[in-house]
Amino acid sequence: MSQSLTIPRPDDWHLHLRDGAVLRAVLPETARHFGRAIIMPNLVPPVVTGKDAAAYRDRIMAALPEGITFEPLMTLYLTEETDPNDVAAAHQNGLIRAVKLYPAGATTNSASGVRDFEKVRGVLDTMAEIGLTLCVHGEVTDAEIDIFDREAVFIDRVLDPLRRATPGLRVVMEHITTSNGVDYVKAHDAGLGATITTHHLVINRNHLLVGGIRPHYYCLPVAKREEHRLALRAAATSGDARFFLGTDSAPHTDPNKESDCGCAGCFTATNTLSILAEVFEQEGALPRLAGFASKHGPAFYGLPVNTETITLTKGDPVSYPQKIDTEDGPVTVFDPQMLLHWDVSQ
Ligand code: DOR
Ligand code: ZN
């Protein structure tokens, strides 16, 4: 008899869809299984104003294959010039669900991000007043800080002071990669949550660097030591509602990954749910998958849980394509280096 698990249709609380040819190719990969996703605004140029977000949402909806339902939850990219009134208006008319903070220089297309946090004080105060979430890329960018320490240092030097200075601000620590991130979330309740990616539950820094450099495992924040991966797995599978799925599925074409200076990002949209089922089963936590993938995120964002369901069925290993073709070139699908036994059906 096959084992099966039916859960509310999941959502992805951190997703890169890009634009143009890549958007058209990767959107169906997410929309096949997910009901909604928080859409990252780090396009070139970034999605900065409400007007930008409305236009980007229209391009996403135009790229959605006929007959598929999917709701993009839009975000604005916080810059030192962001107008608090524009943010408040975009929130009030239901256009955006969050604002994204990239420290300038932290990652892909983050050059327009924040250098001087005093310059965004007005926006943060407005967001705290209106209950709008700040999604934070939590890494310092100082040259003297080791890349493997950048998340832990960010928590102490930037995040904690920022939260103290803005009482009531709702914050999601995006794609946490360390036990420091897990511990910080656990120690502070009201209005603080964290997303965890699929790939950080599977790989540590050895996967990236042992036996040859593996560009498709390079992402930011970079995967850390095994003890951190284990802390993330424990948090994700714990049932604690402050932790929820944000895949950070981040497509780059193969030439842009496999290069002298390869881009950061793991593309996991295609096989994420099969991988998560495997991980939760390994941890003896299958009954808690629905919380992590389908319930905790809506609760944090004050949205209803999706009424549709998906069913995961265990059987012979499932195969997924190694690459997704786009008109700009192939995008490699994340290889979890394990057999996946859980098939997803609607
Ligand atoms: O690995 C990453 N890729 N991390 C980020 O923060 C950005 C993302 C991207 O846009 O490619
Ligand atoms: Zn991201």
**316 alpha carbon – ligand 2 mean position (Å):** 32
Q: Give residue ranges with CB within 6 A of ligand 1.
A: 16, 42, 107-108, 137, 219-220, 248, 250, 263-265
Averaged pLDDT for residues 135-154: 96
Given a contact cutoff of 8 angstroms between Cβ atoms, the answer to whether 261 and 191 are in contact is no
Closest CA to 274 of 298, 291, 293, 246: 293
Averaged pLDDT for residues 114-139: 96
Judged by its nearest atom, the ligand closest to the C-alpha of residue 199 is 1
Residue 110 has pLDDT above 90, yes or no: no
Among 263, 268, 331, which is best to mutate for testing ligand 1, by the most ligand atoms less than 8 A from CB? 263
Residue nearest to atom 7 of ligand 1 (CA): 108
Strand partners, 311: 6, 345
**220 alpha carbon – ligand 1 mean position (Å):** 6
Q: How far apart are CA 199 and CA 42, in angstroms?
A: 20
Residue 312 has pLDDT above 60, yes or no: yes
> Mean pLDDT score of the chain, rounded to an integer?
97
Dump pLDDT digits (tens) for 52-109: 999 999 999 999 999 999 999 999 999 999 999 999 999 999 999 999 999 988 777 7
What confidence score (pLDDT) does residue 249 get? 98
pLDDT band at 111 (very low <50, low <70, confident <90, very high): confident
Cα 195 to Cα 93, 201, 311: the distances in Å are 26, 12, 23
Averaged pLDDT for residues 234-260: 98
3-state secondary structure of 208: helix
Cis peptide before 221 (omega within 30 of 0): yes
Given a contact cutoff of 8 angstroms between Cβ atoms, the answer to whether 124 and 162 are in contact is yes
Residue 1 has pLDDT above 60, yes or no: no
Residue nearest to atom 2 of ligand 1 (CA): 265
Dump pLDDT digits (tens) for 158-182: 999 999 999 999 999 999 999 999 9
Residues sharing a CB contact under 8 Å with residue 32, sequence separation 6 or more, in sequence order: 68
Q: How far apart are CA 16 and CA 23, in angstroms?
A: 9
Dump pLDDT digits (tens) for 38-53: 999 999 999 999 999 9
b/e per residue 58-88 (b: at least 16 CB within 10 A): eebeebbeeeeebbbbbbbbbbeebebebbb
Q: How far apart are CA 189 and CA 330, in angstroms?
A: 42
The count of C-alpha atoms lying within 13 angstroms of the C-alpha of 316, restricted to the half-sphere facing its C-beta, is 1
Averaged pLDDT for residues 223-227: 98
What confidence score (pLDDT) does residue 162 get? 96
What confidence score (pLDDT) does residue 108 get? 74
Closest CA to 134 of 58, 82, 182: 82
| pTM over 0.95, yes/no | yes
What confidence score (pLDDT) does residue 274 get? 98
What confidence score (pLDDT) does residue 299 get? 98
